[in-house]
Structure 1
Amino acid sequence: MNFGNIILIPKVGDASKIQQYGPICLLNVSFKTFTWQLIESSKWHIKSSGLRKRLSFLEEILWNGLWSCMRPSTSSIGKTSTGSFLRLTSKRLMTRCIGTFFSRSCEGFSATWCNWIKSFVQGGNVAVNVNGQNGSYFQTRKGLRQGDPLSPILFNIVADMLAIIINRAKSEGKVNGVIPHLVEDGFSILRYADDTVIFLDRNLEKARNMKVLLCVFEKLSGLKINFHKNEIFCFGQAKECENAYSELFGCRSGSFPFRYLGLLMHYRKLRNSDWRHIEERFEKRLIGWKGELLSNKCLLSKWLFKLANEDGIWQNLLRNKYLKSKPLGAGIKGPGVSHFWAGLMDVKQVFLSLGSFSIGDGTQVRFWEHTWCGNRPLKFLYPSLFNIVRKKGATVADVMSSTPLNVSFRRGLYRERLNACNELVGRVMSLKLRGGRDVFNWGLNKSGLFTEICQTKIPLKTKIFMWYVKRGVLLTKDNLARRNWSGHQGCCFCNSNESIQHLFFDCRLAKLIWRAVLFRVTFWLRHWAKLQRNKDQVQWLTQGAHNLEVAAFRIFNSFGWQSPARISFV
């Protein structure tokens, strides 16, 4: 099952020389399915084993999180005028990485997981395809083949050791980070895939130490750092040493604005014309009226949920830069803020109205304006009191810091207002501050966690394939005949007319596969009553049933659909 074919693909339109072709390895689709399962189990293993803080390639350091770090960082460095940063790129030569250094990088992972990785990496066979003919298969000794889904995650495990090396050097005073007033101990490294940004304080001697660290990491890991493709950006007083930095790292000097992950970056606020290249990309793919219907409120709400409940690099950076000690509800969209923060503030009120807070120390929850005591904010439950209160933005911690409640009104309380105040005091005094973080609970989900619709753990190509099936545009033989195809329209397995309905449901092979799936589902149902007595077994059973469902469709996709394709065209 672990095999692939190496072919040459042209890099240019009219390729006529061998140098204009590049090799690529086409892996077996069934093997890729097992690889995706290993990747999902790896992410779960990292989260459950406490390695999440050590590694930075999980969900907390995503594309948006990195960009939200980069924009405030460049802005703050530009204002303080005391730093510079270096952009690095490295080649993904996983053949060199799979070795002793990789084994040391995997310390903390289970022995079973390491053995799986070893079998996937060292147990494959490949053949070279020349002019449509495959040669004999030979076994690969080590390394990943191009197109292997494991390549990104293994590359990140190795490359993430650079952050650990730099942080240790920073703790010993060998290198310094930037913006220490926003990030504890200073901000030193930001990495996404093979694009790494190194932040340097204005100190040429410690920059030399950083160059030594990069060279040592290059020798230990086997990753090749493309110093000649790097760029150095200096700010203010650091520009006096820009030539020295450029000679030290063997790179050229960059200019602003520059692109980072496809978006323009500048320490000043970007102009509307700077976003034109992004608008043009969308205009090529979207009709104008469709663009007006697009909304990223769901995406921004996800980042607000992470900002309210989690700790991380970009969360701490945004809190220290824009909130200081204020709660999230007190954040504003003032002049000079980043576009990312402005977008968060645009959807903040709607986001907070769709959930409630579980009180910890009460410092992040507004007493009147947030939902924390009941199903609605207190300003709606007691509007007569809210209209005359002096501090409408007071936090729960401020109000409950003394007895009686630390609340003052602009007018005296009589009759209905006095009764409402007594009711409010009785309602609030029954609650106690537990201490710890205030947690925001998403109101549209019973678990209280922010979730997205259609968040299925299925590869993108499988989702597209399912969409083709639903739309009825899959290139089965009946659809090909409508496009003036003159081949035989019979099914490869039973000689009946091939269609989507027949291939997936009516064919004898499809019925056999569905019967196998039904047998497994029946097995789970028979043992459900017995296993549900144990909570651990129920959790294991639920996860197993979900994995079985996804695996069944993947197997049907790879075997049921691709088998007739192989028989027809191979």
Structure 2
Amino acid sequence: MLCMFLVPSAFLGCWWNIPSNITQAVQEALDKAYLTEKDLTAVAVTIGPGLSLCLRARSKLDRFLISIEWFNKWPATYQSKLQRNFSDHYPIMLRSKYEDWGPKPFRILDCWLNDKSFQEMVQQSWNSVQFGGWGGYVLKEKIKALKGKLREWNREHFGDTFKKYQKIEDELNKLEEDTAGRQLTQHEVVTRKRLQEDLWVAAQSHESLLRQKARSKWIREGDCNSRYFHLMINATRRNNCLKGLKINGTWIEEPAIVKEAVRAFFSQRFQEATRIRPTLDGLRFQTIESYQNEMLVGRFQEDEVKRAVWNCGSDKSPGPDGINFKFIKQFWNTIKPDFLRFLDEFHVNGIFPRGSNASFIALIPKILDPQTLNEYRPISLIGCMYKILAKILANRLKKVMPHIIHETQSAFIEGRHMLHSVVVANEAVEEAKRCQKPCIVFKVDYEKAYDSVSWDFLIYMLRRMGFCSKWIQWIEGCLRSASVSVLVNGSPTAEFIPQRGLRQGDPLSPLLFNIVAEALNGIVSQARANGLFRGFLVGSDKVEVNILQYADDTIFFGEATMENVRAVKAILRVFEMVSGLKINFAKSGFGAFGMSEQWKIEAAEYLNCSLLSFPFVYLGVPIGANPRRYQTWDPIIRKCERKLEKWKQRHLSFGGRVTLIKAVLTSIPIYFFSFFRVPKKVEDKLVSLQRRFLWGGDHEQKKIAWIKWETVCLPKEDGGLGVKEINSFNLSLLGKWKWELFHQQGELWARVLQSKYGGWRALNEATRDNTGSIWWRDLKRVAQHPQYEAVMKNTTTWKVGCGDKFRFWEDRWIGEEDSLLAKYPRLYSISVQQHKHIQQMGAFKDTGWEWDFRWRRPLFDREIDMAVAFLKDVESHRIQPHISDQWVWKADTSGHYSAKTAYQTLRKDISQENDDGAFGELWKLKIPTKIAAFAWRLINDRLPTRTNLRKRHIEVTDSSCPFCSLVEETAGHIFFQCSKIIQLWWESLSWVNLVGVFPNHPRQHFLQQDVASCFLFLIAKRAAPHVSSLGYP
């Protein structure tokens, strides 16, 4: 146990600060020692006011530092604080205590799916069970009966995967011991082969089980990362474990009391108080058309149902029925008839059988060491019957959402993206700040938004938007048939029936919440129409920005007047009364530009909220921040550091480390990469983190990076590992903005950019670097980047429609290379229509499109031939009414820009073709990633053989082969040429009946032999104790 500060902010209420470089050095030392801190239960401070130098000082000073091995051995370890009495330090105690929180629900394990007897048992059980009644009841009872059969099958046949593995391993070892020193009999050979096969199957089953429990979706099965999986399982359980609750100010750990308190809390949260709510009858909303209603309530088609099933994640946690979608997809042909019958009957009556719409609530901590239930996020785990139906209904509802939801909402609407709202907010703040325009910004915080939605109000909004009675009946059936239990450390509480709220995890919930939130848009629109609220005008076109919504993330913009401030509060109060949602004004934030500090304080006091500090975070992006500053990227770098922690490096194979690096790069920073240009310093830092995690080492001790990072970032078929090169990845992601700005010119975010800068054409115009926001300036640099310009020119086709977007002379709509301006500069110089769009160069007549060219003077004789060629080029393209001009992305079959194909195109010029195809063949082999990664290093001759170590000036006492001692130890010799190793090769290859000329070079080996790559790994493992360190995974 140590007394130390780990973060500068850990010592509160005192007059000195702990320098961040000191705490960072301490943290690095702990990382190097593979030590981590145990969370403190119930309180966050261990030193309080009293005998300390500062009478009001409070801090977390005392702490237990524990190794990963400790956590793995005692996963239920936790620490608590005791009474301090006369000391200024609270004593802390480390305890390991297992509590019985009750029975755990049944769930299907992925490792069962590969067992042949399991497949036979499921099909036989499902087809043999017969129940009478309507389809939903029959399906529910069949699932219930199957669960009983699976429990019995698991108990009698499958059992504990680890014990099974150990039993087979013991039998195999005993056979090896009994036959040591003599030839095996034919029976013993067959037995050994069978045990080896059984051992492999058992190992795969155990690893699959661990991967499923660890929730590590990024890593491939088959790499034998069992130790890592164990650590992740224990870490997840430790982080999500509800150790106790503070109830009425007292810390309670008794399971029965805690579970009842949890049930009572959530039962109360989902209860609807009896009250008469006002309505919004005087407001207008967009309504759906009759043909859309017909689509919504049409019969469920088999292909539509299958598409919904396949859209559900196979690795998602199951609901109370324990059935995951990996199982459903594998046995779809068996269970499909019963599901289709259930859906057909629901289509008629809109009713669920009792218990078939049950769900669990899983509690996810919002903070470290939560103490109350408000500090947990409830996520619903839905049963498969309801989830399939909800997915079908959600897929249908998505098609009409763009027609009924206002453009200021960007969540879960096809064609809209959350970053579109970020652009609008960022550009509005930039203009208000730069020009000191009077502008207010109010960031709204909802109190349990999804849980507070009134079902009656949701049904009211559906009627107001024109949904037919059948659809409304279906939605009401989905809501009112629900029942809920809360999982407390994996054990469910008693069930209760909710009366309000939308379940997070239900496919329908995000879309239904958008419909509820549309009421707020309607109130704002009515306030604007009545002159009660005025939005903030952006750019020369004075585009109005008043409210931005992404699910429950809402922000208001408006002119800086007290009338607007009062209007915002009145609007939100009205919305509260009609919808059931509650605004947490105390956690909301108010800011303003162009006004005095006193005015801002008075406005914030009127709204009963805190002052907003700039930059502020909206949808995960710091609005108004300078993306060129390293500090802006600090949260992203910290997250990457946590994901690439040193203990993970220690417990992952080389192949596993490569996979994790890719997963981290394409998950954590990708959101920032899609919006901001990465500064060089940040890029270097992220590359340093990746490189150090891949090859080992830390800040003090650097290990050899055996292969250049540029090679690591090459595609696999070209000799690399396929790790994304950050600069090209960032360019490809940012390149989509120009594409979307061209195709979505009528959207709010595009109109804002058009109003401020001139739209997509302005990205290629040369202007002063200090005009516009930093984000826009960086976007222009991307658009004018030589690599990006070349990709856009070579990969984009200009497809003319009605001529509404393309300029006649300046754009490349007549061919791949040149515009009419470049091809006919003389005719352009005498045209009086130089900057016109195509549709302004003629008109549609009864006979079709007719051109109307106008010249400043008659054509000279020498220009006639040029004009004939000009007319031939122009008339070779047909102008089509009612079809907008568009770009076509040739690199993707969809014709739409994709960051993936843009990245591949950007990297094509850098990559070098692999002539013999060895690398391409290597990654196609059906072998574990760690073996393929090891073989990749072998082909590149970058294993730490004694020869390679000496080349890198590492002192080696003896460089000869440890087996034959005749020649120098090289990769080619120790794996293919050593006389002792060749014997092992011939014996190993005979096991799988491989014959032929044996290759003596790694590259030839992979072109000639497929299965033998696994033997390389075994040789390296066998040789490792005798050689310097072959670095086998």
Q: TM-score, normalised by structure 1?
A: 0.66
Which residue identity is paired with 2:404? L
Q: Deviations over 1:273-315 (max 9, x none)?
A: 3433255157534462544365245544544343223321101
Distance change >3 Å, CA 250–CA 144, structure 1 → 2: same
C-alpha distance in 2 between matches for 1:163 and 1:17: 34
Q: Is the aligned partner of 1:356 residue 2:791?
A: no
Q: Deviations over 1:477-497 (max 9, x none)?
A: xxxxxxxxxxxxxxxxxxxxx
Q: Is the aligned partner of 1:27 residue 2:469?
A: no
Identical columns (%): 25
Q: Is the aligned partner of 1:59 residue 2:414?
A: yes
Structure possessing the higher radius of gyration over alpha carbons: 2
Distance change >3 Å, CA 447–CA 294, structure 1 → 2: closer
Paired residue for 1:514?
none
Structural mapping, 1:71-82, within 5 Å: 71-78=426-433, 79-82=435-438
Q: Is the aligned partner of 1:111 residue 2:546?
A: no
Deviation at 1:43, TM superposition (A): 0.2
| Partner-residue secondary structure (3-state), 1:186 | strand
Deviation at 1:223, TM superposition (A): 0.7
Distance change >3 Å, CA 338–CA 226, structure 1 → 2: same
Q: Deviations over 1:217-257 (max 9, x none)?
A: 11111111111111111112354511221111111112222
Paired residue for 2:587?
229
Q: Is the aligned partner of 1:241 residue 2:241?
A: no
Q: Which of residues 732, 751, 758 in structure 2 aligns to 1:316?
A: 751
C-alpha distance in 2 between matches for 1:20 and 1:73: 33
C-alpha distance in 2 between matches for 1:396 and 1:332: 22
Structural mapping, 1:35-434, within 5 Å: 35-47=390-402, 50-53=403-406, 56-57=410-411, 58-78=413-433, 79-106=435-462, 107-128=465-486, 134=492, 137-179=495-537, 181=539, 186-237=544-595, 239-266=597-624, 270-277=627-634, 280-281=637-638, 283-284=640-641, 285-286=664-665, 288=687, 289=709, 290-292=724-726, 294-310=728-744, 311-323=746-758, 331=765, 334-335=768-769, 336-342=771-777, 344-345=779-780, 346-347=782-783, 349=789, 350-351=791-792, 354-360=796-802, 364-378=805-819, 382=823, 394-396=835-837, 400=841, 404-406=853-855, 419-428=865-874
C-alpha distance in 2 between matches for 1:115 and 1:104: 12
Distance change >3 Å, CA 254–CA 206, structure 1 → 2: closer
Q: Does the CA-based 8 Å contact 1:358-1:440 persist in structure 2? A: yes
Q: Does the CA-based 8 Å contact 1:361-1:436 persist in structure 2? A: no
| Partner-residue secondary structure (3-state), 2:442 | strand
Deviation at 1:356, TM superposition (A): 1.0
| Partner-residue secondary structure (3-state), 1:87 | strand
C-alpha distance in 1 between matches for 2:423 and 2:377: 36
Which residue identity is paired with 1:39? A
Q: Does the CA-based 8 Å contact 2:814-2:820 persist in structure 1? A: no
Q: Does the CA-based 8 Å contact 1:442-1:450 persist in structure 2? A: yes
C-alpha distance in 2 between matches for 1:428 and 1:20: 66
Q: Does the CA-based 8 Å contact 1:51-1:108 persist in structure 2? A: no
C-alpha distance in 1 between matches for 2:885 and 2:367: 54
| Partner-residue secondary structure (3-state), 2:729 | coil
Q: Which runs of 5+ in 1 are unaligned?
A: 456-469, 474-570
| Partner-residue secondary structure (3-state), 2:381 | strand
Deviation at 1:166, TM superposition (A): 0.6
More relative contact order in 1 or in 2 (CA 8 Å, sep 6+)? 1
C-alpha distance in 2 between matches for 1:212 and 1:148: 32
Q: Is the aligned partner of 1:440 residue 2:886?
A: yes
Moved more, 196-205 or 384-393: 384-393
C-alpha distance in 2 between matches for 1:397 and 1:329: 21
| Partner-residue secondary structure (3-state), 1:113 | helix
C-alpha distance in 2 between matches for 1:376 and 1:74: 40
Paired residue for 2:133?
none
| Partner-residue secondary structure (3-state), 2:400 | helix
Aligned length: 451
C-alpha distance in 2 between matches for 1:252 and 1:242: 10
Deviation at 1:361, TM superposition (A): 5.1
Q: Which runs of 5+ in 2 are unaligned?
A: 1-355, 642-663, 666-685, 688-708, 710-723, 843-850, 902-925, 930-1033
C-alpha distance in 2 between matches for 1:11 and 1:443: 42
C-alpha distance in 2 between matches for 1:229 and 1:155: 21
Q: Does the CA-based 8 Å contact 1:85-1:234 persist in structure 2? A: yes
Deviation at 1:159, TM superposition (A): 1.7
Deviation at 1:155, TM superposition (A): 2.0
Which residue identity is paired with 1:176? R
Distance change >3 Å, CA 338–CA 12, structure 1 → 2: closer
Moved more, 202-211 or 164-173: 202-211
C-alpha distance in 2 between matches for 1:471 and 1:308: 45
Distance change >3 Å, CA 167–CA 437, structure 1 → 2: farther
C-alpha distance in 2 between matches for 1:233 and 1:110: 43
C-alpha distance in 2 between matches for 1:146 and 1:220: 22
C-alpha distance in 1 between matches for 2:857 and 2:889: 31
C-alpha distance in 1 between matches for 2:375 and 2:596: 42
Moved more, 294-303 or 154-163: 294-303
C-alpha distance in 2 between matches for 1:42 and 1:317: 29
Paired residue for 1:4?
359
Q: Does the CA-based 8 Å contact 1:302-1:450 persist in structure 2? A: no
CA RMSD for the aligned pairs? 4.2
Which residue identity is paired with 2:630? S
C-alpha distance in 2 between matches for 1:68 and 1:432: 36
Deviation at 1:158, TM superposition (A): 1.1
Which residue identity is paired with 1:204? M
| Partner-residue secondary structure (3-state), 1:154 | helix
| Partner-residue secondary structure (3-state), 2:568 | helix
Distance change >3 Å, CA 357–CA 7, structure 1 → 2: closer
C-alpha distance in 1 between matches for 2:377 and 2:415: 35
Deviation at 1:271, TM superposition (A): 4.1
| Partner-residue secondary structure (3-state), 1:199 | strand
Deviation at 1:41, TM superposition (A): 1.6
C-alpha distance in 1 between matches for 2:853 and 2:379: 73
Q: Does the CA-based 8 Å contact 1:77-1:179 persist in structure 2? A: no
Q: Deviations over 1:448-489 (max 9, x none)?
A: 85265999xxxxxxxxxxxxxx9879xxxxxxxxxxxxxxxx
| Partner-residue secondary structure (3-state), 1:59 | coil
| Partner-residue secondary structure (3-state), 2:890 | coil
Q: Deviations over 1:390-437 (max 9, x none)?
A: 99974445994796544899xx9886x763343113443687877888
Q: Deviations over 1:61-94 (max 9, x none)?
A: 4221111111111112221422121111113444
Q: Does the CA-based 8 Å contact 1:91-1:225 persist in structure 2? A: yes
Which residue identity is paired with 1:70? A
Moved more, 433-442 or 309-318: 433-442
Moved more, 285-294 or 365-374: 285-294
Structural mapping, 1:531-542, within 5 Å: none
C-alpha distance in 2 between matches for 1:169 and 1:15: 41
C-alpha distance in 2 between matches for 1:43 and 1:302: 23
C-alpha distance in 2 between matches for 1:302 and 1:37: 30
Distance change >3 Å, CA 69–CA 391, structure 1 → 2: farther
Q: Does the CA-based 8 Å contact 2:422-2:623 persist in structure 1? A: no
Moved more, 78-87 or 312-321: 78-87
Which residue identity is paired with 2:437? S
C-alpha distance in 2 between matches for 1:377 and 1:6: 60
C-alpha distance in 2 between matches for 1:21 and 1:372: 56
Distance change >3 Å, CA 419–CA 114, structure 1 → 2: same
C-alpha distance in 1 between matches for 2:757 and 2:749: 12
Deviation at 1:105, TM superposition (A): 1.8
C-alpha distance in 2 between matches for 1:122 and 1:471: 50
